[in-house]
Structure 1
Amino acid sequence: MKSALIIFCLLITHCLQAQTITLIEQGKSTSIRGLSVVSDKVAWVSGSKGHVAVTTDGGHTWAWQQVKGFEQSDFRDVEAFSDKEAIIMSSGTPALILRTVNGGASWNITFQNNDKAYFLDGMGFFDAKHGLLMGDPINGKFLLLETTDSGRTWNALKTLPEALANEAAFAASGTSLRVLNSRNNVLLLTGGSTSRILLGVGLKSWNTIEVPLIHGQPSQGGFSIAVGGGGTVVVGGDYQQNKKADSVACYYSGNESRMKFQLAKQMPGGYQSCVTYLFDHTFLSTGTSGSNITNDGGATWRPIDTASYNVCEKAKSGNLILLAGDKGKIAIFKN
């Protein structure tokens, strides 16, 4: 019995030590918030000052560019489908969506609006053709643009969710919007005056789910949502007080139509701007306060790295897990 206990402890220690985040790229004068990991080989990042990069060897090397004519754009999200095809979204004015089908050799503008009321927050795709883009409220309703032709054209949804006063979304990692399945269900996460999930059922009706994260100020609320392993995890906090760990993560396990979230019993170490599902009941989160992991669906979190990142994601098809942040930082997570 004693020897079995020793072996068990050694295995646990090995697992803890094996979870590492290793910096693989840095030095570019860009703040990366967009990340799309297509496979174990292909991934894209996008950021401020018009920067975009793609890797085709699992992150070992990156082909960087400043998109010509858009050197001042802040590309806060990217959705990629291969090493050739990707869509980038610029927050701020003008609001822009660009698309490439030749690996970034050229980009086509597929949406542009110069109205300062437009501020784009994030994208999500049900499949290679059907996607959604979320933006901050305009005239009391959240902006939602839909594409059914792989991002070539975008049109506003007919039924838009209503926003409360001073409620908005955060374009911190492009993950305040998550599509759920082929039934066209979607989750929108909000912050500011309140913190809520707006559950879109078939993109035709909207239900409200309260989220018990810190809120009330423009810098507070829910920043990112992830679904997997039969559960849903939400992270956020206050980006102006990034070490404050009070009410920065909550979770739910069960039927999505009757969600009631609980605050994590052991919180991450502070503000988190992104969370992604890995496997089983394991989720990875990151932010300027550091990165954290949960193995029980969000109930308890453990810090694994203190470096600042903005976004993390696992490959859509494969096991590659990357993180990215300010100053062109890109890192790889190994479990």
Structure 2
Amino acid sequence: MKPMRALARKMSFAGACAALVTASLAVPATAHAETTKDGLAWRLTPTGTDARFRGLAAVSRNTAWLAGSGGTVLRTTDAGRTWQDVAPPDTAGLEFRDIEAFDARRAVVLAIGEGDASRLYSTSNGGHTWTLGFKNDDPKAFYDCVTFFDSRHGLAMSDPVDGKFRVISTSNAGRTWRVLPSKGMPAALEGEIAFAASGQCLVSHGSRDVWLATGGASTSRVFHSRDRGRTWTVADTPLPSSASQGVFSVAFRDSRHGLAVGGDYRPGEPSPKAAATTNDGGRTWHPADHPPAEYRSGATPLAPRLPISLAVGPTGSDVTFNGGSTWTQFDGGSFDTVDCAPGACWAAGEKGRAARLTTF
């Protein structure tokens, strides 16, 4: 098996970090692996469904959860060899776009849509039963993403209502939610929204920091809260913005160092300059020197504190070894979302596609 450190040296990254990556992700490539180069591959794990998965929660080397179209929620506890249908009952008409999981038993899943199509369900027994913790009753709200600081405290966000993004909060693992006051939220721009494309338009790091990514308006922006969503600041990013463009995903390896990816989600449309980095917690954003060549909907750090991250989209997957400044494509398959846990990285997307990252 080709060690990851050789690839990292090729990309001018420290050998010590590469050795850690090798130890975390070293899985033999198989006949199910996608076309690869530079030692990285996605190993497909058939799900038995044609749902489109935009929600993904990586828990461990063996456990991951998927959420997708047609009310689909799947779970694996054997590294993707088998997937179990664990969806809440009577939800076939819902579009699940985000899921947060804490282990093989506990998870919270978000359904998007106008009015009461936006919902949050939680389970504490591996999906055998679910609790409907939130059903939107405001026709002006449309919820996009959910994130958790720990296994009890989390936030979910809606596109602007009365001129401001709406945030709801839970302190009991998603069993109940309350709307946070909007006083500390800056005003939204005309046409500004979040994109429910990968479950990564709202992300958190540590016990209090959370970021909200936007597009759709004249400028793409990233909002930041240091107090679990009570007060926010906002910064412009260099990513192009329009009705179909903006920041689709943000990823932070610590409270200061993060990256943003996005572009134009319309098939065949160019997406130049659709990546940026920050080293001050999101107060300022700088264009990537060599961004991904096309639209990317999802991104994730490979491991805490390491400047290695992955980005995915319908036309391929990319890796960065320097915090998001330069990206290299390593796969041409279609994925919408990506997430890493200790020992494994997972990706998922259209036509039931789910995969684990391998090195060789």
Q: CA deviation at 1:65?
A: 4.5
Measured against aligned partners, the alpha-carbon deviations of 1:221-279 in whole angstroms (never above 9, x if no partner) come to 000000116521000000014552302111122x326x321111112120000110013
Confirm or deny that 1:263 pairs with 2:284.
no
SS at match of 1:104: coil
> In the alignment, which residue of structure 2 is the partner of 1:3?
none
Q: Distance in 1 between matches of 2:307 and 2:8?
A: 22
CA contact (8 A) 2:112 2:118 kept: yes
**Which is strand-richer, 1 or 2?**
1
CA contact (8 A) 1:169 1:223 kept: yes
Q: Distance in 1 between matches of 2:221 and 2:204?
A: 16
Equivalence map 1:54-203=2 (5 Å):
54-93=75-114, 94-159=117-182, 160-161=184-185, 162-182=187-207, 184-193=208-217, 194-202=219-227, 203=229
> In the alignment, which residue of structure 1 is the partner of 2:34?
none
> In the alignment, which residue of structure 2 is the partner of 1:5?
none
Confirm or deny that 1:221 pairs with 2:246.
yes
Change (3 A) 1:219 1:45: same
Change (3 A) 1:42 1:261: same
Q: 1:170 is aligned with what amino acid?
A: F
Q: Distance in 2 between matches of 1:276 and 1:199?
A: 18
> In the alignment, which residue of structure 2 is the partner of 1:40?
61
1:313 aligns with one of 321, 325, 339: 339
Measured against aligned partners, the alpha-carbon deviations of 1:192-221 in whole angstroms (never above 9, x if no partner) come to 012111111313322111110011x21110
Confirm or deny that 1:328 pairs with 2:340.
no
Higher relative contact order (CA 8 A, sep 6+): 2
Q: CA deviation at 1:10?
A: 11
Measured against aligned partners, the alpha-carbon deviations of 1:174-195 in whole angstroms (never above 9, x if no partner) come to 111111322x221111110121
Confirm or deny that 1:290 pairs with 2:290.
no
Q: Distance in 1 between matches of 2:268 and 2:240?
A: 12
* Cα RMSD (Å): 2.2
Q: Distance in 1 between matches of 2:97 and 2:213?
A: 16
Q: Distance in 2 between matches of 1:324 and 1:10?
A: 25
Change (3 A) 1:90 1:9: closer
Q: CA deviation at 1:29?
A: 2.5
SS at match of 1:240: coil
> In the alignment, which residue of structure 2 is the partner of 1:49?
70
Measured against aligned partners, the alpha-carbon deviations of 1:290-322 in whole angstroms (never above 9, x if no partner) come to 11111111111100111111000001xx12100
2:45 aligns with one of 3, 21, 24: 24
Change (3 A) 1:129 1:107: same
Q: 2:204 is aligned with what amino acid?
A: V
Measured against aligned partners, the alpha-carbon deviations of 1:122-171 in whole angstroms (never above 9, x if no partner) come to 11111111100011111111110100111111001124522111001011
Q: 2:120 is aligned with what amino acid?
A: I
Higher alpha-carbon deviation: 230-239 or 243-252: 243-252
Change (3 A) 1:105 1:171: same
Higher alpha-carbon deviation: 160-169 or 125-134: 160-169
CA contact (8 A) 2:307 2:322 kept: yes
Structure 1 residue runs of 5 or longer lacking an equivalent are 1-7
Q: CA deviation at 1:74?
A: 0.4
Q: Distance in 2 between matches of 1:269 and 1:212?
A: 16
- Provide TM-score, normalisation by structure 1: 0.90
Query: What number of residue pairs does the alignment pair up?
Result: 323
SS at match of 2:277: strand
Q: Distance in 1 between matches of 2:278 and 2:130?
A: 40
Higher alpha-carbon deviation: 102-111 or 291-300: 102-111
Q: Distance in 1 between matches of 2:86 and 2:154?
A: 25
Higher alpha-carbon deviation: 187-196 or 107-116: 107-116
Change (3 A) 1:68 1:10: closer
